[in-house]
Structure 1
């Protein structure tokens, strides 16, 4: 894709070691962008950088650590040039009832998904202003309608949507475009691991057929890469999710009706278990944030 407008531009992708972040990095590399890959898993990031068909560098960094992000940004400018696109993709999740959730793990989801996105924007905003660049916030279907057993994740994704809309209004006059991505269920290790918990699987399975479909990660990444090329203010995967915006007020009563029927059957009088931080990315975050904690 040598005619892409992203050719020879520096793009930052957080949460790039695996899943949607890694798939998006590949799509952007095919468009000949220079890539800065940020995340916890240094070895995985290095391997991805080496495999991409373009210049790519790995930076092992926690997006909630302002100092580490600032240091990484300085290296990126020196080695790759000023970023003109930043994709805030880093995110973790845990499932289970809010009442029995671990408070520290619950808070960590908010910190990574919401505060980490804001820290990413704060760090690279001077570059985006200087280049009239583009910031893409990866939100979720969960931003549009909350799901039982995913309180921290849903709260954080609703938060990043609101944050991105606020930032969009603040920086438009400076030539910076801000977009929000709303991917539905995506075939990542986080979702695959959640599916092993009966309650999580059953709640998804009782959604209407289009809403419960799990989409290939490559399909979602291709749509997001195209959104970056076009500087879209919103991208929905699948496209029909856009229609939910018009009926968002109807979603909570619908979800309530499903959960009232399904949760009593699923718990069978016993508390439903929590999942812990989901997927290899969640475990990597725990290892980095809580060294020495098994």
Structure 2
């Protein structure tokens, strides 16, 4: 795939809204053809209509189901003749300390954020090899820095960063390039849900030092992703300062840092857990409703569902 995106086919999981949809808008502005997968049919159809059905294929697919993703890739190849790039973007977050997080919420997050990346990449690789394409695995600054009350999320994002690194070595001889994307707080539904649900999270966010307390616009994130895909970058950072955290990781993971962070965050951890107990859930209301829908589908033998950021 050359540096130009005109006419290139890009498949994005979790493409109906949030970072996935904004990346799709930026790619379409640069002439790319789009394949968007999501479980939210209504929002997906609206996004496809916005981008133009003649340039965009919307597919209801479940990243936690390899067969579903294989069918989505096959549909993309049938519609546009192949796939040039894949953005493994679908993901969720959960709230609370390990002691208080609902175990099922943790398992579900790993299924979507980690297994979903594997299923997406595994399904798409044959098509990508054929076109010497590019994979962008969406990780986070959380891959570099642990955060209290976000153990499940940072665990998943560190995992997929290392997945991308291993994958890069495996497919380089096949002409496929692999990158990982790392963002701080982005103004997505996922972050807004946390701010709405948890006043203690809002206060903790405000207390973070320097740029770490800033919520970046989704427009900026979409531009960073589109440029990263066009240039087949090894790393995509949004904002750019996130890249510094990768090199600071050894200095942040030490007893002194633990002591400082522990003193700063203890009150917030306790408050967040109390607020989660009051909510009666450790994920946003959107994800709770989708989990119920998943259970209902399972009872009647229907397809499982997943979530997007």
Give me the TM-score of the superposition, normalised by structure 1.
Answer: 0.92
| 1:204 Cα deviation after fit | 2.3
Q: CA deviation at 1:266?
A: 6.0
1:33 is aligned to: 32
Counterpart for residue 270 of structure 2: 267
Conserved? CA contact 2:84–2:128, under 8 Å: yes
CA 1:77/1:269 → structure 2, altered by over 3 Å: closer, same or farther? closer
Q: Distance in 1 between matches of 2:66 and 2:235?
A: 27
Alignment of 1:37-186 (within 5 A): 37-53=36-52, 55-186=55-186
Residue 202 in structure 1 maps to residue 208 in structure 2? no
Q: CA deviation at 1:279?
A: 6.4
Q: CA RMSD, aligned part only? A: 2.2
Query: SS where residue 58 of structure 2 aligns?
Result: strand
Can you list the C-alpha shifts for 1:119-159, whole angstroms capped at 9, x where unaligned? Answer: 10000000111100000011111111011111111100010
Greater mean alpha carbon deviation, residues 85-94 or residues 282-291:
282-291
Q: Sort the Cα spacing of 1:6 and 1:270 in 2 relative to 1 into closer, same or farther, 3 A.
A: closer
2:260 to 232, 251, 257: 257
TM-score between both structures, scaled by the size of structure 2:
0.87
* Runs (4+) off by over 6 Å: none
Count of paired positions: 290
The answer as to whether partners of 2:96 and 2:269 remain within 8 angstroms in 1 is: no
Which residue matches 1:5? 4
Q: Secondary structure at the match of 1:98?
A: coil
Q: What does residue 291 of structure 2 align with? A: 286
Q: How does 1:207-286 map to 2 (within 5 A)?
A: 207-253=208-254, 254=257, 257-264=260-267, 267=270, 271=274, 273=276, 276-278=282-284, 280=286, 282-283=287-288, 285-286=290-291
**Contact map agreement 2:36 2:59 (CA 8 A) in 1:** yes
